[in-house]
Amino acid sequence: MKLYDFPLAANSQRVKIFLTEKGLTVPTVELNLREGEQFKEPFASLNPFHCVPVLELDDGTAIAESVSVCRYLEELHPEPSLFGRDPVERATIDMWNRRVEIDGFMPILHAVRNKLPNFKGRVIPGYRSELPQLPELVERGQDMLKVVLGRIDPQLAKSEFIAGPNISIADITGYFMMNMARNLEMDIEGPYPNAFRWHQTLSERPSTQNL
Ligand SMILES: N[C@@H](CCC(=O)N[C@@H](CS)C(=O)NCC(=O)O)C(=O)O
């Protein structure tokens, strides 16, 4: 198998953290997204969504979603588990991962893409267009993040990690949600002290160093 990635891309880094937490290595092919290599063949046919990461299996199957790549690798190497060991753990981790990703990470990612100058012309991942950056989406993304942080802060007061006592895929997703909030200079520490502590804990793990 072969992992296509770009080391500076958040979704590539999600897989990289997962691999480090599992103690795994996978042969990697680096694509330079800034040079538009995601639009060039043969990668463009491998993933018509023109995004990384992609795990290409030896039979040519392309797994082109970061969480799906992680889930596949977990099936091959169940320990240490980052998706849960039994039906309840698996459902709980999946629930938190979806809440963090859908309610928090996606809105704040679109806020970042609609604000930072380097995303001009690139507001949709893997798609080049003249669609303008919209300040309303920046504001709405930040408002949505505040709602989700208000909801997860009490959970993080009770639990070191979002889905229980051990790190899971939901924390890896959450780490990037919190990084995006930091990119937009949002105040997290005052209103959401437990979420802030969670981000600090994740930032200090060996797997998030040298990304
Ligand atoms: N839902 C996908 C998102 C992948 C994604 O957005 N990748 C970005 C890098 S973080 C990308 O490849 N962007 C290429 C571009 O914008 O041209 C996943 O989780 O893997």
**Rounded distance between C-alpha atoms, residue 187 and residue 192, angstroms:** 9
Residue range(s) defining the domain that contains residue 8? 2-76
Report cis status (omega within 30 of 0) of the bond before 53: yes
Same structural domain, 18 and 101: no
Same structural domain, 54 and 118: no
Cα 158 to ligand 1 centre (Å): 33
Q: What pLDDT shows up at residue 39?
A: 98
Closest residue by CA, ligand 1 atom 5? 51
Closest residue by CA, ligand 1 atom 9? 9
CATH of the domain at 108: 1.20.1050.10
Same structural domain, 179 and 92: yes
> Which tokens go with 23?
């103690």
Q: What rounded mean pLDDT belongs to the chain?
A: 97
DSSP state of 133: P
Q: What pLDDT shows up at residue 166?
A: 97
Query: Using a 6 Å cutoff on CB, does residue 178 contact ligand 1?
Result: no
Same structural domain, 111 and 175: yes
In the chain, pLDDT over 70 holds for what percent of residues?
100
Residue ranges for the chain with pLDDT beneath 50: none
Q: What pLDDT shows up at residue 45?
A: 98
Tally of structural domains, the chain: 2
List the one residue out of 62, 109, 90, 51 whose CA is nearest residue 170: 90
Domain boundary among the residues 76, 101, 130 is at 76
Taking CA 85 as the corner, what is the angle to CA 12 and CA 157, rounded to the nearest 5 degrees?
75
Closest residue by CA, ligand 1 atom 14? 126
124: β partners: 127
Query: Using a 6 Å cutoff on CB, does residue 15 contact ligand 1?
Result: no
Half-sphere exposure of 67 (CA within 13 A, CB side): 17
Q: What pLDDT shows up at residue 110?
A: 98
Same structural domain, 13 and 94: no
What pLDDT, in 10s, does the model give residues 52-70?
A: 999 999 999 999 999 999 9
Query: Using a 6 Å cutoff on CB, does residue 11 contact ligand 1?
Result: yes
